[in-house]
Amino acid sequence: MKRTYAVFALALLAFIAQWSACAQDKPRAPRNLDIYWIDTEGGAATLIVSPSGESMLIDTGYPDGDRDARRIFAAAQYAGLTKIDHLVISHYHRDHVGGLAALTKLIPIGRYYGPNDQLELVNREWYDSYITASAGKRIIVKPGDRIPLKGVHVTVVTANEKTLAKPVNGGRRNALCENAAAMSAGGFENSRMVGLLLTYGKFTFLDLIDLDWRTELELVCPVNKVGKVTLYQTNRHGSDVGGAPEFLGAILPQVVVANNGPKKGIGVGDKRLLPIVNMAKPARAYETNQYQRLALLPGIEGVWQGHLSLADKDSGHNTAEDMIANLDDTPDCKGNWIKASVAPDGKFTLVNGRNGFSKSYEARRRR
């Protein structure tokens, strides 16, 4: 009997060893690129997890009660992260750097990337917060630099009031620039944004954060330096003075995500736009509501919003409710995220964290 058990045990061990060897030889299915738009209620925090497992966070939201730092940490845990490998701070505004001090107490951060040391004194608190957190780990970036996120190509396309010297991603002369309407700068920090173009196979993601109308035009006129993109995160939180028609017509995104707040971004007017609308031919191209400007773009397949605009709840001025992550403006707001998961072949799916609604797309070769 003992010998029978011994033979059985040896056979079992041999089977396990053979199965283990076969399992190791079998190639693993490639991981997707995941992007989380974390709700900071009109601030900004975008978490990217590359197929290699490395992570990059762009901005940290507001400081208010550590709410946004905790939401970022929760998203990082959901994504299986134990640290943030790369943190990009786009500029020194409260709604982009405010959550940093609290976040550093919740999760380790590897390297920091951001603009130079020029600033307006009103933003000194947030600049100092960034300098303190990034001590010994900070890199000042310029257009053309790369963020070394393993498995994904990340290029700095704007920084420190400058744009790329040469076009990338198939960019070429932009015929729309001939009738472009100029606009005054949207503030010093919004003109010197660290903006990024992320490329993963056929899929491209353009995130210019708060870049203003004037600098948008510098990026695409007379030559479109970033080409056409798959997915675009709205500038200025989807506000009416972001997304100049000549800019949007140059990048022609398939899908858009607006990181707006309940009363910030989409639906919030700006009197600087009125003279442009009044003079524009055709005026329709300069529709003052940015959602409508986006929805009218040739080839657009979907517009997603972080929040329903409570400044302008008109159903024609917001996307479909299933594609809006948050509907209210109360202390009980859950702060639901929107997630994109991008496969190596360019197919990608967006998911609404509020209701589980999802929609799939396929990145087109855009050159």
The predicted-structure confidence for 36-73, as pLDDT tens digits, reads as follows: 999 999 999 999 999 999 999 999 999 999 999 999 99
- Residues contacting residue 361 through CB under 8 Å, at least 6 positions apart: 254, 255, 301, 302, 347, 348, 349, 350
Average model confidence (pLDDT) across the chain: 89
Out of 14-18, 93-97, 348-352, pick the least confident. 14-18
Model confidence at 12, pLDDT cuts 50, 70, 90, reads: very low
CA dist 124 and 38 (Å) reads: 25
Average pLDDT over residues 103-131: 97
The percent of residues in the chain predicted with pLDDT above 90, rounded, is 75
202 vs 290 pLDDT, higher one: 202
**Predicted pLDDT at 23:** 38
**Predicted pLDDT at 19:** 42
Model confidence at 317, pLDDT cuts 50, 70, 90, reads: very high
**Predicted pLDDT at 332:** 75
> Looking at the predicted structure, is the pLDDT value of residue 98 above 50?
yes
Q: Which residues pair with 338 in a beta bridge?
A: 37, 352
What does DSSP assign to residue 148?
-
CA dist 321 and 338 (Å) reads: 13
- Residues contacting residue 18 through CB under 8 Å, at least 6 positions apart: none
> Looking at the predicted structure, is the pLDDT value of residue 15 above 70?
no
CA dist 276 and 217 (Å) reads: 14
Model confidence at 357, pLDDT cuts 50, 70, 90, reads: very high
Nearest CA to 43 out of 66, 26, 16, 27 is that of 66
Average pLDDT over residues 243-267: 94
CA dist 328 and 228 (Å) reads: 34
Which tokens go with 22? 């076969």
Average pLDDT over residues 276-289: 62
The predicted-structure confidence for 18-29, as pLDDT tens digits, reads as follows: 544 443 444 456
**End-to-end CA gap in the chain:** 73
Which tokens go with 350? 């967006």
281 vs 36 pLDDT, higher one: 36
**Predicted pLDDT at 56:** 98
**Predicted pLDDT at 227:** 97
> Looking at the predicted structure, is the pLDDT value of residue 137 above 90?
yes
The percent of residues in the chain predicted with pLDDT above 70, rounded, is 87
Average pLDDT over residues 129-143: 98
Out of 60-69, 263-272, 335-344, pick the least confident. 263-272
> Looking at the predicted structure, is the pLDDT value of residue 126 above 80?
yes
Selecting from 1.10.8.50, 3.40.640.10, 2.40.50.100, 3.60.15.10, what CATH number does the domain 31-362 have?
A: 3.60.15.10
Which tokens go with 236? 């200025």
Domain boundaries, the chain: 31-362
This prediction's pTM: 0.90
**Predicted pLDDT at 286:** 65
Residues 267 and 289: beta-carbon distance below 8 Å:
yes
Model confidence at 106, pLDDT cuts 50, 70, 90, reads: very high
**Predicted pLDDT at 274:** 67
Q: Which residues pair with 35 in a beta bridge?
A: 48, 340
